[in-house]
Amino acid sequence: MKNLVLLLFIFIIIACSNDDFLRSDLDRQRTNEVVETPPLGKKIKKMTDRFGEHHYYYNSSGFIDSIYSRYRGQNSSGFDSFSIHKFNYNKGNKLISIVNIHAEGSIESPINEYESNNHFTYNKSNQIIQEHLYIKATGSTQTTKYEYNNDGSVKSNNKYYLNENLIVEKSNNEIYTYSYNDRTNPFYNIYTKAYKAIKSIDKNDRILIERTADGGTSYAEYFITYDNDNYKVNEHLKYPVVDFYSTYEYY
C-alpha cells in the first residue's frame, strides 16, 4: 500500500512539474545537445542516517528520478515527517527542474504540506548558471547565480576544489580541510555533472576533516566498511565529542 501511495505522489508531482523536459528530439538536435550518461557503478537503493531513511529511484537513463525520505522525530524512534524530490530532465538528460514536497505525518496521511520548485538555466557549456527557487505557498522566488573556474568547478571565495573533490572550505574564522581516499562516492554516480558541480558532490569518499579555528586544530575521522565492489556499506563519522553512523544498500 505504501509503495502505491508513493507512486501516486510521484505521478502528481510529474503532472504539476514544468514540462520543459518534454522537448522534442528536433529541439535537441537544433541546439547540438549531447546526451549525458551517468558514470558506471552501483546505484544507492537506501541510505539510513541520524535523520532517518532515504530511498532512491532511477529513470531508464540511470540518473536519479526521485528520492523519498522519512525523518525521525526528535523525541521518538518513529518517523514524523517525510519528503519527496522529483527530478525532471529533457531528452538530453539535462536536469531541468526538481519538485520538492515536504510534509508532516506519513505519506498515507500527510499534513502541512510544503512545496517548492528548483528550475535551472544553462550556458552553452551545459553548466548551470542560474538556479531559480519557487516557493508555492508564498509565490516568492530566489535566484542563485554560478560562475566557473577553468576546471569546471564553481567559483567561490571560500571553497576550493581538486579533482572534483572539495578540499578546503572557509567559514568565518574557521578553516576546514578535507581528505579523501580513491573509492567512488556513491552519490557521484547518480546525479548529472552540472548538478554535482553546484552542490559540491565529491567524486571520492571523504575520510578526514581537519578544522582550524582560534589557533587550534581538531579532527573528525571517517571509519568506513566496504563491500566486495569497493562501495561503502557502513560509515562511522567520529567527532571529538559525538559520533554519527550511516548505512548504505545498493541495487
Residue-by-residue pLDDT tens, the chain, 251 positions: 455 455 455 544 544 444 443 444 444 445 567 899 999 999 999 999 999 999 999 999 999 999 999 998 765 567 889 999 999 999 999 999 999 999 999 888 889 999 999 999 999 999 999 999 999 999 999 999 999 999 999 999 999 999 999 999 998 889 999 999 999 999 999 999 999 999 999 999 999 999 999 889 999 999 999 999 999 999 999 999 999 999 999 99
pTM for this entry: 0.86
CB < 8 Å & 24+ apart, contacts of 10-15 = 10/57, 10/66, 10/84, 10/86, 13/66, 13/84, 13/86, 13/99, 13/101, 14/86, 14/88
C-beta of residue 8 within 8 angstroms of C-beta of residue 86: no
Q: Is the dihedral of CA 27, 29, 32, 34 positive or negative?
A: positive
Q: Domain locations in the chain?
A: 1-146, 149-246
pLDDT for 61 equals 95
* pLDDT tens digits along 147-157: 999 999 999 99
The CA distance from 106 to 200, in Å, is 31
What is the pLDDT at residue 125? 95
Q: Whole-angstrom Cα distance, residue 26 to residue 30?
A: 6
| Per-residue pLDDT reduced to its tens digit, 57-111 | 999 999 999 999 999 876 556 788 999 999 999 999 999 999 999 999 988 888 9
Q: How many whole angstroms separate alpha carbon 111 and alpha carbon 203?
A: 37
φ, ψ of residue 47 to 5 degrees: the values are: -130, 130
pLDDT of 32: 60
- For the chain, the C-alpha Rg in angstroms (whole number) is 19
Grid cell 581537519 in the structure block, residue: 210
**What confidence score (pLDDT) does residue 15 get?**
45
> Which pLDDT score, from 0 to 100, does residue 170 have?
95
The pLDDT of residue 77 is 62
At 28 the pLDDT is: 45
